[in-house]
Structures are given as structure tokens and as C-alpha cells.
Amino acid sequence: MKILRLFMACIAAALLFGVSVSQAATFPSTQVTFETAKHDLSADAEAGIKAVAAYLADDKAAKVKLSGYVDATGDPEKNKELAKQRAFAVRDALVAAGVAQDRIELQKPEEIVAGKEEEARRVDIVPVLAVVAVVTAAPQAAPAAASAAPAASAAEAAASAPVANKGDVAWMIVATLLVIMMTVPGLALFYGGLVRSKNMLSVLMQVLVTFSMIVILWCIYGYSLAFSEGNAFIGGFDRLFMKGLFNPADGSFAMAATFSKGVYIPELLFAAFQATFAGITCCLIVGAFAERAKFQAVLAFMALWFTFSYAPIAHMVWFWMGPDAYSSKEVVDAMNAKAGLLWQWGALDFAGGTVVHINAAVGGLVGAYMIGKRIGYGKEAFTPHSLTLTMVGAALLWVGWFGFNAGSALEAGNSAVLAFMNTFSATAAAVLAWSIGEALMKGKASMLGAASGAVAGLVAITPAAGNVGLMAAIIIGFVAGFACLWGVNGLKKILGADDSLDVFGVHGVGGIVGALLTGVFNTQELGGPGLVGDWVTAGVISNGIGAQVWIQLKAVVVTIVWSGVVSLIAYKLVDLTIGLRVTEEQEREGLDIASHGETAYHG
């Protein structure tokens, strides 16, 4: 308990410290004015260029856009060429001041409009990742001596900054809520119904508190480690304490890239969405050692595993610089080098086959080995105390999973629709497959089997959701249903671990099946959408099936090895400091009373 109290005190101190460092500096919106018919920078422009360069040096994730105008009078072609040369001059000055060229975006020709007089001779430097103005209370009257020019400049910068589509924002808020519902109450009830009644509350508590703790750690440092620029394995500290996501000075929000050029959502919303993924991934592990682990040990392990396994794998698989960073062929190699390792390899994981399911499954399996089998395992029947609650939990998982998978498109568009339908059909196919397989094996199909089949289908379609065609999703669901049925029966016996709620048999096997079959069915020849082969033009290609499956297999192996090693070390550290397992007396009494002093049922 002392270690737990110290840990919580550190979190509180970190939060207080974070308040002071998370305030983002205001972007120094700059206007560079040229002399008539010339494209040479004046001496007056130097201060503005240096201010922008200093801002970008402080905020490694920020980018700028150069926007200008053309003269409405004279030869249109000469005016366009002059405007282009002026933009190039500003770009070259920024590069000379130390700004990487890939962080400078030029205005598209079709976006350039005619200007009048001085406006036609100007190039504006505005933030690409600044946002939409938000509605705020009217400020107090400014001093009479204040100039109106800065306000006009800010308004122009806001007008040229990317604006999130309200439909995309609304959908991503709903998707985030759906994933929260998947965990609390969905996963909690699914797991809770599967354990004995004396351990019901312990499972609910482990899921609820683990999820809550991970959300806080995500806000403090997890998001930065997973989704900021660092190296191929882990991100940096640019987003520590959510720095730069919201600027209270002007009410602006940073914007996050989606998978379409010129389309953004608020980065704070993206961070919230990804926080739910981190939370549920850690909660999945709980099922592997249910009914025998110390509550404090569970939390300590989750903090370590989240930091050293979840965040790095998420970075390796999902971090990249976004489509707009690929502004020309000259920057492609540099942009690819900044992405996560598995993204660089070309691994496809739409919503978390590797990051979430295989990662958690390996963490759970190692835990089952390290903590040991439950007392009476193999001798007593560990019958689920409420399959009704398990069914309710499975239903909530299925509904919530639409936010999980379709939300991973990051836009309310075609990709989300494909992911939505594939999640729908693959899950139904897996329910049928598990029921058929169970009937053939045991003579009867069970409700528990059908619910487990639903989860198996959801797991398998996760990496494939927006990466395969409609009929392929049904095939993946059927294969996953049969494969995971074997996973919780035949494979479980081979492994010899007491994986209480079959985390590896469903999430491990299902995640591997889905990841590999994504490589098979992504090709357009088999009805898949293919993949973007050139982010400069957003051109779609199809890799050979063998080549893509090989990439997928390498990603699976890296995830298994990474999670396995981190899990082993984390469990050992917790065992040496806190101890992993409750006493035999407490285990027989039940963790509801022993760990929490209450019971789920009375009478």
C-alpha cells in the first residue's frame, strides 16, 4: 500500500507540474510584404522569419503554411509566377533559419485568390496545425491605444488555418464514447459474468480502476510517447502533459491529420479517442489472471506495461507524419524515416490487431504463467456465475466495437462505412462458426460459445476492418470463429497455463488470424481496397499477397517478442516489490471480500 500511495502521489504532483508546462506559446503569425514586381525579401522580414523559426524549434510537431495572393491587374501568368517566386523566397528564408523543409507547406495553386494593392504583394505565414476559432465569452474592452492590425492578422491566420469538418468531429466524439462503453461496462460485465460470484466485484474493480489510471497516465505522458515524433520505436516528449493541444490564451486547438490530405480533426479529440484504446488494452489483460492477483499488483503491473509495451507498440504501428507532410517526392524518404518501425515496413493494422489484441494477449499469457494456476484448477469446475451478464457484456462490446473500428478511419467517410460493415458481418460469421464448431465437438452449441465467437470475430476483423473487402470480412469471421474455438480448447491445453478467461485463446489467436488474413485480402484482386503506395499523390496500389503476408507476420512476431519481454520483466519487478498473488486463504474466501471488503450479491 505504501508503494501504491507513493505512486498516486507522484501522479498528483505530475499533474500539478503539468499545468504549468502545458500552456502552448502563441504562434507569431507573420506577413511578409514585397516591393512591387519583386520577389526579394526586405530587411524588415528578418524578425518575423526568426520568430516563426523559434516557435517551430520549440514545438516539434507544428508546421506552417505559406499563403499569398496574385495581383488582379496585369498579365495573369506573370502574376502567378511572381506569387510563386515570393512564396519560394519565404520558404528558403525559413529553411535558412533552421526550419526543415517538410514542415513548410505551400498553398495549392487552386487556393490562391486575387488581392488588391498591398495584399497582392504579401505572403502570410500561418500555422498548419492551429485551429478553428472557438466561441468564447466577449473579452473586456481593450485599451484605446491598442492597434487593430494584430487582430486583423490573427483573423486572417485563423481563416487560412485548417478547419475540422463538424461531421467528422461529431462522429469521432461518438466513436470515443462507444469505446468507453466497450470497457465500462462492456468488458467489465463480460469478464464479471465469467468468474465465480465471490470474485465478481474484484474483476469490475480491476477493469474500472485500471481504465481510469491508464487514462490519466495517457494524459501525462502516454500520448506523447505514442504519437509524437521521436524515433522508430518510441515518441518524444513534445506532447508531455498534453502540451500544445489547447491554447488557453486564444482558445485555439491543435489539429491532427487524418488519412486524407487537407482533412483534420482536433488533436485533443484524437488523443481522447486513442486514450480509450490504451485503457481497454490494459483491461483485457485482467482476464488472464482473474481470481488470484493482488489489486495493488495489478495496478503496478499495468503502469509498467502501459509505459514500456503499449506506448512503444502503438508508436511503431501507428505513428507517421500525416498525408500533408508528403508534399513532394523529395521529402518522402525523410517523412517515412520519422514514422514508427512497423509503419515503415508497411504493416497494416486498421484498429489494433497487433497494438491492442496480440499485445494484451501476450501480456496476459505471461501473467498466467508468472502468477500460477488458481487453487483447484483442473480439479474443480470453475463455472461462470452469470452467463446473462456475460451476454450483456458481449452485446455492449459488439455495439461499442463499431466506434473502435469505424472510428479508426478518423473521418465520417467511405473508409468508416467499410470498416463498419465489415465489423458487422465478420462478427456475425464468427458467432455462427463457433456455434457450429461447438455443436460438432460437444453435440450442443452454448450461449457462452456464441458470445465468445462474437468477441473472436470482433478481434479478428480489427486489423482488417478498413483494409479488406466485404466478402473477405465474412471469411475472416468464419476462420476466426473456428480458430479461437481451438485456441480455448486445444491450444490452451498445449500451453498449460491457467488463462482464466481465455485472453490468449481469443485475443491472441484472433489477433494473429486477423493480422495475417489482412495481408491476404487487402489486395484489390480479391476485392480489397488496396493501400496507398504514394502519399504525395495518394495513389492506391496492391502489394503481392505473399509480400504483404510476410510484412504482417514480421509485425506479429515483433509484437509478441516485445510484449513478452516487457511483461516478464514487469511482472518480476512487481513480484519482488509488492507480490503478485493473494494468499491461499484470501483466494478461497474470494477477492471481493479479501481485497475490497464487499460482496456483489446478498442473500
179-201 tens-digit pLDDT? 999 999 999 999 999 999 999 99
So what's the pLDDT on residue 31? 80
**Cell 455462427 found at:** 432
Same domain, 366 and 383: yes
* Element spanning 310, H or E: none
Q: Residues 413, 451: one domain?
A: yes
> What phi, psi does 457 have (nearest 5°)?
-65, -40
153 shares its domain with 196 = no
Residues 124 and 252 in one domain: no
Average pLDDT over residues 67-94: 77
**CA torsion sign, 317 to 322 to 326 to 330?**
negative
Domain end position, chosen among 127, 160, 193: 160
CATH number of the domain enclosing 41: 3.30.1330.60
The pLDDT assigned to 72 comes to 64
Apex 588 CA angle, 584 and 592, nearest 5? 110
Q: Are 454 and 566 members of one domain? A: yes
pLDDT, tens digit, 9 for 90 and up, residues 316-362 = 999 999 999 998 898 999 999 999 999 999 999 999 999 999 999 99
CB 179 within 8 A of CB 351: no
119 and 252 housed in the same domain: no
CATH number for position 570: 1.10.3430.10
For residue 601, being part of any structural domain is answered with: no
Whether 317 and 339 share a structural domain: yes
Average of per-residue pLDDT values in the chain: 87
Range of the domain at 111: 22-136+148-160
Determine the pLDDT at residue 78: 77
Assign 13 a pLDDT band (cuts: 50, 70, 90). Answer: low
Structural domain count, the chain: 2
Measure the CA–CA gap between 270 and 245, rounded to whole angstroms: 10
356 and 491 in a common domain: yes
Q: Contact, 502 vs 289, CB < 8 A?
A: no
Q: What is this structure's pTM?
A: 0.78
Q: Report yes or no on 6 lying in a domain.
A: no
Statement: residue 237 has pLDDT above 60: yes
Instruction: Tell me whether residue 369 is in a domain.
Output: yes
Same domain, yes or no: 112 and 255: no
What are phi and psi for residue 248, nearest 5 degrees? Answer: -65, -20
Distance CA 526, CA 470 (A): 10
Alpha carbons 160 and 137: distance in angstroms, whole number: 23
